[in-house]
Amino acid sequence: MPRVIAITSEKGGVGKSTLAVHLSGALTGRGLPTVLIDEDGRVGSSLRWGARAEAGLGFPVLAPDDVKPRKLAAAAAVVIDTEGRPRRKELRRLSERADLILVPSGVGALELDATRELLDFLLDSGDASRKIRVVLTRVPPVGHAGEDAREELRDEGLTVCNTLIRHYAAYQKAAELGALVRDVRDVRAQAAWNDILSLSRELL
């Protein structure tokens, strides 16, 4: 059975789709074939990302209706990209299906509060608590706001990934090109990709 990693967040625009696409690319590149399922019917940005990629991204990006058992048969991992601000019922269903719930969060005070709110709910639903991990995204590459936020959340008892996904313009370029940041011409592309690889190793 593939490991199912669901990505969700209380706020929109925190970097779920960016993370979903890159994590899928990193796992596949490490020899762990991954299927990305885009469950964000509203924006469908993972699907669009895949559609912009002329030569493909190297892994399948599927709409929920296209998910068939045979398409998942050889997968080591399934990454699910979701809509921001999920309804509580959907969240509960997601946590039943997933082995891991990854909650990307910015490091600003309001963003951290929104993340705490979501985790309060998830942690209350018993069994799900083992599965939840926060990952700090769009972290300013200069200074230590990322490290500070990580320690703050950990002090509150939350599980936070060690890797900080830093804020680099290369991700925007990647989205525009329908590519992975690894393949974008940008001085920070390798630094960005190293963050993604490091996160992928923490998760699988």
Ligand X SMILES: Nc1ncnc2c1ncn2[C@@H]1O[C@H](COP(=O)(O)OP(=O)(O)OP(=O)(O)O)[C@@H](O)[C@H]1O
Question: Interface residues with ligand X (CB under 6 A)?
Answer: 9, 12-18, 40, 43, 45, 84, 137-138, 165, 167-168, 171-172, 175
Of the two residues 16 and 167, which places its CB atom closer to Mg ion in the complex?
Answer: 16
Of the two residues 12 and 143, which places its CB atom closer to ligand X in the complex?
Answer: 12
Q: How many residues bind Mg ion (CB under 5 A)?
A: 3
CB of 11 vs ligand X, minimal distance in Å: 7
CB of 129 vs Mg ion, minimal distance in Å: 25
173 is an interface residue for Mg ion by CB under 5 A = no
How many residues can be counted in the chain? 204
How wide is the angle at C-alpha 96 spanned by C-alphas 201 and 122, nearest 5°?
A: 80
Q: Give the separation between CA 49 and CA 180, rounded to whole angstroms.
A: 10
- Closest of 195, 185, 204 to residue 19, by C-alpha: 195
Which among 10-18, 24-32, 48-56, 62-70 is the span making contact with Mg ion, rule CB under 5 A?
10-18
CB of 127 vs ligand X, minimal distance in Å: 25
List the single partner that 167 binds among ligand X, Mg ion, none, CB under 5 to 8 Å by kind: ligand X
List the single partner that 172 binds among ligand X, Mg ion, none, CB under 5 to 8 Å by kind: ligand X
Residue with tokens 């490991």: 3
Of the two residues 45 and 125, which places its CB atom closer to Mg ion in the complex?
Answer: 45
List the single partner that 101 binds among ligand X, Mg ion, none, CB under 5 to 8 Å by kind: none
End-to-end CA distance of the chain: 14
Would you state the torsion angle of the CA atoms of residues 68, 71, 72, 75, taken in this order, to the nearest 10 degrees? -170
Q: What is the DSSP string of 138-204?
A: SB-SSSSHHHHHHHHHHHTT--B-S---B--THHHHHHHHTS-GGGS--TTHHHHHHHHHHHHHHH-
85 is an interface residue for Mg ion by CB under 5 A = no
Residue pair 152/115 in contact by the 8 Å Cβ criterion:
no
Token reading at 174:
């990647």
Q: List the interface residues with Mg ion, window 13-42 (CB under 5 A).
A: 16-17
Of the two residues 17 and 163, which places its CB atom closer to ligand X in the complex?
Answer: 17
Of the two residues 152 and 165, which places its CB atom closer to Mg ion in the complex?
Answer: 165
Residue with tokens 């490290």: 147
**List of residues contacting Mg ion (CB under 5 A):** 16-17, 45
